[in-house]
Amino acid sequence: MKYEIKIYENDQGSLRVNVPDEIYLVHSLLLSDVQEDATEIWLNVVNKVLSKESSYEEITGNVCTLEINYDMTKIVFEYAEEDEEDHCFIETEELKKIFMLWDEAIEKKYGESN
């Protein structure tokens, strides 16, 4: 895996994630959009592009939109302030790996996928 990702439970028992600054919106994506649900919907859309079933997909959650291309995915923060950075890029395959790590953390916490 290219990025150092740390998924852990905080003192209140909620899952949290630390990600590198260059992919900072993965944090918002996981905690605001995916939450402690499995990533099935998100992963299916990513897999659709990675399998070349589709050349491009877009999916919007509570706060982020993913613009998924084969090599690279753009994560857009929908509520950015005027002078605030509103997007970042991550390799689509790396995003898939992060989703899989998140699912593993959920399974570990709850004993099975939600």
Per-residue pLDDT reduced to its tens digit, 23-59:
999 999 999 999 988 799 999 999 999 999 999 999 9
Per-residue pLDDT reduced to its tens digit, 51-98:
999 999 999 999 999 999 999 999 999 998 988 889 999 999 999 999
pLDDT at 83: 87
pTM to 2 decimals?
0.92
CB 34, CB 17: distance < 8 Å: no
pLDDT at 112: 57
Q: Parallel, antiparallel, or unpaired: how do β-strands 56-60 and 64-69 relate?
A: antiparallel
DSSP SS3 for 3: coil
pLDDT at 114: 47
DSSP SS3 for 49: helix
Token readout for 20 is: 């590198």
Token readout for 8 is: 């852990």
